[in-house]
Amino acid sequence: MAAPRASDRVPPPTEPAGPRLASMDQLRGLVIVLMALDHVRDFFHAAAYRGENPLDVDHTTGVLYATRWVTHLCAPTFLFLAGVGAYWRGHRGGGFPRAARAELSRFLVTRGLWLLVLELTYIAWLGWYMSFEPARYQLQVIWALGASMIVLAALIWLPHAWIAALGIAIVALHNATDRFTAADAGALAPVWQLLHLQGPLAGFASIQVRVGYPLLPWLGVLLLGYAFGPIAMAPAARRQRWQLRLGLGALAAFAILRGGNLYGDPTPWLPQRDALRSMGAIGNVQKYPPSLAYVLATLGVAMLVWRWLDRRAPRTLGWLTVLGAVPMFVYLLHLPLIHGLAAAFHQVLRGDGGWLFGARYMANGGGVIGARLAHAPGWPDAPGFSLAVVYLVWIGVIALLYPLARWFAEVKRRDRRWWLSYV
């Protein structure tokens, strides 16, 4: 095999041409838009309230399948870009002296703790449940991001190659532990659940804590983003060359491993009655926790989309840059907005929206995706609306969020107070 050209090697970190990379903000903005679509579907679509899996090829439609699958891009891309952003924050001056490393470590710890607080308070109270006395807490994507940042705060003291190797190892090998259950862990069952198992967390009596996003594989995704940092800071031609290689390589690995049922997802796919459904079965990969197949497919697509945005994104997509510049601000607004709109729609169109608040909503898992049952106590017999309503509400939500995001992005541009970096 020929040795790679010098121009193809991962370049040393350099100061980026501007304070932000526009294509990175656009990709993050696209993630925000897709995330809003996913959560509108959760709160508005009738099938979501019945607990149906939109990726089950025997009980879905093409549009519903595509709607759900494309939103799979959100969480892995969000954590990957958070890792890239952490690298950039530490290398803004071109190097990584001890003082910069210490500053980055402190920032990652404090921001990570702040995200954990938000997950267990504001997001639970005003996002999922609309109640200040929730009986359940969900450890979802913001928990995974915050906890991963805290771990990264310690790992940044290691050589960069070690961090890259650890990220690859976690993402590639964690599926080898799929058969290891909480019972196998004994007294350490809660720890293993936090790391790798979705479901209610053992050891709590008066409250229920449910692990939606087990930490270990999501930490691996964040570390991959941090490892990609110097490539993201490289000149555009080199960055785009690596985006193409990694994107196509990830999708090729997915096709081989998943297509051949070789490794990388706990549920093998089965041939269906036609080729299209068989492809759908191949794409029905596990997100909770994210399997290797899931990460390969989603980050492979995300890397190619990023390359397209980096090379020739039309100016008409500039609005994505605004949303991507303040993702946490938009995240904190979008859940209460969508939840409130769902209650308003049910009140106006169905005569009862109060069941979407507090105890009546939590009686059936509330915002716990996949844990809902039809005809829950206190719920209407047929909650939710059609997919067409989902898309109309989604467009309206983005239209409402955009001017707020634009205002706050301008605030952050003009005001450099430290606490704004946490929103």
Cα separation of 188 and 178, whole Å?
16
Cα separation of 170 and 185, whole Å?
19
pLDDT band at 367 (very low <50, low <70, confident <90, very high): very low
Q: Report whether 398 contacts 36 (CB < 8 A).
A: yes
Quick one: pLDDT at residue 135? 63
pLDDT band at 272 (very low <50, low <70, confident <90, very high): very high
- The b-or-e profile of 270-294 (16+ CB within 10 A means b, else e) is eeeeeeeebebbbbbbbbbbbbbbb
pTM (two decimals): 0.92
Does residue 52 fall inside a structural domain? yes
Determine the residue type at 310: D
Does residue 27 fall inside a structural domain? yes
Determine the residue type at 39: H
Does residue 97 fall inside a structural domain? no
- R_g of the chain, CA atoms, integer Å: 21
Cα separation of 58 and 65, whole Å?
11
Q: CA nearest 226: which of 152, 302, 295? A: 152
Q: CA nearest 141: which of 266, 284, 38? A: 38
**What is the tens place of the pLDDT at every residue in 178-227?**
999 888 888 898 899 999 998 888 766 667 788 999 999 999 999 999 99
Question: Max CA-CA distance within the chain?
Answer: 70
Q: Report whether 35 contacts 332 (CB < 8 A).
A: no
Q: CA nearest 400: which of 128, 40, 38, 23? A: 40
Domain total in the chain: 1
**What is the tens place of the pLDDT at every residue in 276-323?**
999 999 999 999 999 999 999 999 999 999 999 999 878 888 899 999
pLDDT band at 345 (very low <50, low <70, confident <90, very high): very high
Does residue 331 fall inside a structural domain? yes
Domain range for 409 is 1-71+319-423
Which pair of tokens denotes residue 154?
């310690």
The CA-atom distances, in angstroms, between 202 and each of 133, 192, 199 are 21, 10, 9
DSSP SS3 for 65: helix
Does residue 17 fall inside a structural domain? yes
- Prior bond of 314 cis (ω within 30°): no
DSSP string, 115-174: HHHHHHTHIIIIIIS--SS-SEEEE-HHHHHHHHHHHHHHHTTS-HHHHHHHHHHHHHHG
Does residue 344 fall inside a structural domain? yes
SS3 content of the chain, % helix, strand, coil (to 5): 65, 5, 30
Q: Is the pLDDT of residue 417 over 80?
A: yes
Q: Report whether 242 contacts 306 (CB < 8 A).
A: no
Q: Is the pLDDT of residue 16 over 70?
A: no
Does residue 59 fall inside a structural domain? yes
Residue pointed to by tokens 């969480």: 75
Does residue 389 fall inside a structural domain? yes
Determine the residue type at 99: A
Cα separation of 106 and 414, whole Å?
24
